[in-house]
Structure 1
């Protein structure tokens, strides 16, 4: 099980510094999210300052762009990093696409499927020199003159991961992507009972087995070496769970556990801006279902118990600025457990 570092940086320099720190700490990968900055820019800076670590956009907002801009940026980063780039894409939700990015929204799963296929068609044109002729319902790419063609990438094409929660988007991930980024707002039960079967259906559509498809697992972790640290971490995670739980698109996860009405309450509070009250509405059973809670050693053991047989990588992240050192004890315990299992 590979270990990734991530978080929500405020500046390109902060994000790049965290990637460098993650490589020095031994992490396998580092992801940069598109919140306050452009992840492609941040990872370009990080690529110049690192040598080994895998670089992941987790996520870049697909529908804020088009397949050509994404294909070119991903190709550039894969070349710049020496083949270490992973293109992680997500749909975001309708209000952000239409109100923040002023871009169209329709049939997100179908649009995302077509988006990834279009990116792959563009990469194929780069690689082979053959005419670009992608005709879809949402995207059409039919022009690639030699002046704009970068040619074959010596490192091949980047892997593509899709972020998904709902079953239709998860099926799309299984069909057209190389891996899936499970949303933090996922539980072990949802992963096993909903996500994995949906991925298998998607892989079947593509005529491929689930084996070899990479799954990056959920990452809510509340831990600390002292009671004060643990309490502060739990408070932070409650806020995260409440924030995501207020989103209608993520309601199916709550409903699987019989907590659908909690989403109604959280949504109403979010509309009134009562963020602290939202966190107070997250009871211990919900907290402990969505998050791994305990000392670093306990957290590492529980991560492996829940996910070791179903995920290929786990992201140790914070809701704040990325800080690989924060997870040093959990990281060490996970590595030690992994080495023992391998031995």
Structure 2
């Protein structure tokens, strides 16, 4: 299993953080799209590293056209000398329509077509064949020599698609090179829903799971003191409550018979009762979603749950952990 690191930092800090991650021996670094552009950060990080893989974890697909994304990803594959990984996600409707002012409909079907459109654009550059992609949501039928960068010597970036529900997960199995598991999941949901659905998607594409990446991001609650442990537990409950209030993540809760928890948290979120929401997450829910363990036991519990599921992983820590303790966990996972 590859052990990765996630970075959410302003552009002026990214280079130093990626240097440090490479020096620490991480296999990959994922750049989050939140308050900053992940593609800019990938480009900056690529200039100061030479070994570590660098990916978007995730970039919001529907905020961009397939052509815009295809060009950016192709350039980043070049400047990273083949180390760039394209991680994509759909986001949810309010962000796409109200934050990005972009269209939203049939997200799984749209994402399937989106990825196929990006691949068609890349293929036109690689093979020199006319660009002729016409779908329900996207249409790309013009590519002149001035805008054709030609074949990429490093090949096309692998596409890893994020998802939770069965529809998007099936699309990821069918058209992507890998799947990015959301932190809001459980071992049971992964084994009973995610893995079988990915397998179905792969079979639709006439492919097996061999060589297919599954990137995990499990919540980890730990600490070297009682105070650190309590802070990690509280902040993780707050984050879980935030995710659990979103209808898109309800299937994870329903798998455990906790569907009504989503309804309750959704009402609370609309009333702005964010701090109170964490109190609704009891220890049973917390321990199903997060690995809750002392630092010396955390790596073993992570491996027990996910060692045969994830091909690569980065830890989702909601509270700071002393560097020595974190390094010890990471070293035990390698």
Q: Provide the C-alpha distance between the structure 1 equivalents of 2:320 and 2:178, rounded to a whole number of angstroms.
A: 25
Asked if 1:92 is matched to 2:91, the reply is yes
Alpha-carbon shift at residue 129 of structure 1 (Å) = 1.5
Q: Say which is worse superposed, 224-233 or 119-128, in terms of deviation.
A: 224-233
Counterpart for residue 6 of structure 2: 6
Q: Provide the C-alpha distance between the structure 2 equivalents of 1:56 and 1:272, rounded to a whole number of angstroms.
A: 36
Q: Provide the C-alpha distance between the structure 2 equivalents of 1:281 and 1:312, rounded to a whole number of angstroms.
A: 33
Q: Provide the C-alpha distance between the structure 1 equivalents of 2:90 and 2:230, rounded to a whole number of angstroms.
A: 33
Q: Provide the C-alpha distance between the structure 2 equivalents of 1:171 and 1:324, rounded to a whole number of angstroms.
A: 38
Counterpart for residue 109 of structure 2: 110
Aligned-partner SS, 2:55? strand
Asked if 1:134 is matched to 2:133, the reply is yes
Counterpart for residue 278 of structure 2: 279
Cα gap change, 1:58 to 1:315, in 2 (>3 Å): same
1:220-257 CA distance string (max 9 Å, x none) = 11111222211111111111101100101100100100
CA contact (8 A) 1:7 1:323 kept: no
Q: Provide the C-alpha distance between the structure 2 equivalents of 1:324 and 1:81, rounded to a whole number of angstroms.
A: 28
Alpha-carbon shift at residue 153 of structure 1 (Å) = 0.7
Q: Provide the C-alpha distance between the structure 1 equivalents of 2:178 and 2:243, rounded to a whole number of angstroms.
A: 22
Cα gap change, 1:326 to 1:117, in 2 (>3 Å): farther
Unmatched tracts of structure 2, length 5 or more: none
Q: Which runs of 4+ in 1 moved over 4 A?
A: 319-326
Flag the structure with more relative contact order, 1 or 2, with Cα contacts below 8 A and sequence separation at least 6.
1
Equivalences, count: 334
Q: Provide the C-alpha distance between the structure 2 equivalents of 1:126 and 1:157, rounded to a whole number of angstroms.
A: 10
Matches for 1:151-190 after TM superposition, within 5 Å: 151-190=150-189
Alpha-carbon shift at residue 55 of structure 1 (Å) = 0.5
Alpha-carbon shift at residue 7 of structure 1 (Å) = 4.2
CA contact (8 A) 1:4 1:313 kept: yes
CA contact (8 A) 1:68 1:122 kept: yes
Alpha-carbon shift at residue 307 of structure 1 (Å) = 0.6
CA contact (8 A) 1:16 1:43 kept: no
Q: Provide the C-alpha distance between the structure 2 equivalents of 1:303 and 1:232, rounded to a whole number of angstroms.
A: 20
1:109-140 CA distance string (max 9 Å, x none) = 00000000011111111111111111111001
Q: Say which is worse superposed, 125-134 or 40-49, in terms of deviation.
A: 125-134
Cα gap change, 1:30 to 1:320, in 2 (>3 Å): farther
Unmatched tracts of structure 1, length 5 or more: 336-343
CA contact (8 A) 1:3 1:315 kept: yes
Alpha-carbon shift at residue 210 of structure 1 (Å) = 1.3
Q: Provide the C-alpha distance between the structure 2 equivalents of 1:75 and 1:211, rounded to a whole number of angstroms.
A: 25
Q: Provide the C-alpha distance between the structure 1 equivalents of 2:214 and 2:191, rounded to a whole number of angstroms.
A: 12
Q: Provide the C-alpha distance between the structure 1 equivalents of 2:264 and 2:42, rounded to a whole number of angstroms.
A: 38
Alpha-carbon shift at residue 321 of structure 1 (Å) = 9.5
Counterpart for residue 58 of structure 1: 57
Counterpart for residue 260 of structure 2: 261
CA contact (8 A) 1:163 1:183 kept: yes
CA contact (8 A) 1:25 1:324 kept: no
Q: Provide the C-alpha distance between the structure 2 equivalents of 1:322 and 1:108, rounded to a whole number of angstroms.
A: 37
Matches for 1:239-254 after TM superposition, within 5 Å: 239-254=238-253
TM-score by length of 1: 0.94
The alignment's C-alpha RMSD in Å is 1.6
TM-score by length of 2: 0.97
